[in-house]
Amino acid sequence: MASRQWLFKSLYRFGFVPWDGHPLPKSLKDLVEGDGANAALTAGKALDIGCGTGGTTRAIARLPGRRSVGVDISEPMLALARQEAERAGLPARFIRADAQMSAALFDLTA
């Protein structure tokens, strides 16, 4: 596990994050908002584990009635995520933690 953390921290340090900066995948958007054949999920909260700079976390928070929590190990990336969410006035929170931790440790009610 330590080698995986080192790998991600190194990639973040050099700014090589090809998994970041993409729009919300259509399949996820269809799941949350409904796609004509299926009803939208009821409003609520989402947990984005390994959120990076928080693009998906913020995209979900933009949807009506949604709040989201992003979790990542990189504090510099979370700082960027927090700045963007605050700038956009979105109900998103970001927590620094190892994604291997149990989801039961996160308080999603706040």
pLDDT for 89 equals 94
Using a cut of 0.75, tell me whether the model's pTM lies above it: no
Query: Can you read off the two tokens belonging to residue 87?
Result: 């700038």
Condensed to tens digits (0 to 9), the pLDDT of residues 57-108 reads: 998 888 888 889 999 988 888 999 999 999 999 989 999 987 665 555 555 5
Q: Indicate the domain borders of the chain.
A: 2-99
CATH class of 2-99: alpha beta
Residue of higher predicted confidence among 42 and 82: 82
For residue 56, the model assigns a pLDDT of 87
Q: How far is CA 78 from the centre of its chain?
A: 10
